[in-house]
Structure 1
């Protein structure tokens, strides 16, 4: 898509829901095409910014074009190459847990960026690590979705296996494009109450939450 070729869609497979089809154009959308919570997150950015899981750079490019100093981090070499081709200046090819000795005023975890935690206990580990990368008064802007609706029938009854040790938002993801299949990987969707509880446990103040259109939300947490 970056090279001007409009190809087939990306298929997202999970172990708890039906397949989802994504157009590659979704990863190159404009500010006007973003959901309201993503737009609001970008408006709230300040100071030096870290964009975690930057992908094709949809958020980083907007921030850079508006004069912000932003580091764009992704674990994918191809994503990093794409960002460089788009003119994004500060691209970092690295796992977020390998990032140290840096300080930021704003950290972005968008496009369900909280999912990089992989599990609910992993979210605490992630937030504790991100604390080490924040300046005093720094903030994290993250979004996710509450998947409880997938386990709710037409009568409003919930069918979550309370005997299971796994949190209902923990899943396995696999992406495919044409005949290319990626390796399955764990991913997390976390409900806003659990996110807030874990953030407070890690020493953050929950400043605001913004609901999206379909069980999704953006949360702003601050390191006081």
Structure 2
């Protein structure tokens, strides 16, 4: 597989992939996730991915509602596969790398393997739209999204690069905000599993409004 690989649809991706269970981690198509890899099993996973044609790793969350054994926690069924697009050696045995999201997947079967890391047989068929950049972004309520973001930043005394935010296309904006959001595993999974960009934006707005409501004192005037 050449550098700067382009994937046109589910058939371009392997059906068996390594999976990296990481609580609270959300990768979305065309999103970028920095990772600090230091556990031996995941060093092995990265080495094997780099040696393969595709350089792909599936990011997925452990299912905290059904945890299973500590050494091999149960996984949510849906994750997102990403391609290693940047990598550097730290000098102390770690990898500093970046995954760029390609497509969501659904686990069909976890395989019995001899590797230290876990591998699954997956399907991308339910997520064919993930291969179409910016699909459905014209349906996103951008004003409502930016309003919720502004209120969240104000309530938490945070700042943002508003010039960059205002210039970002809707897909990049929604997915970046979803990936960076400080919410829990259940909320992150809901954002991942949203059927389209419009719904993902609506979930992000709703979760933000719930969080803002929780943080208000009884005598505080609600944000408009």
TM-score range, shorter chain: under 0.3
Greater share of helix: 2
- Higher radius of gyration, 1 or 2: 2
Greater share of strand: 1
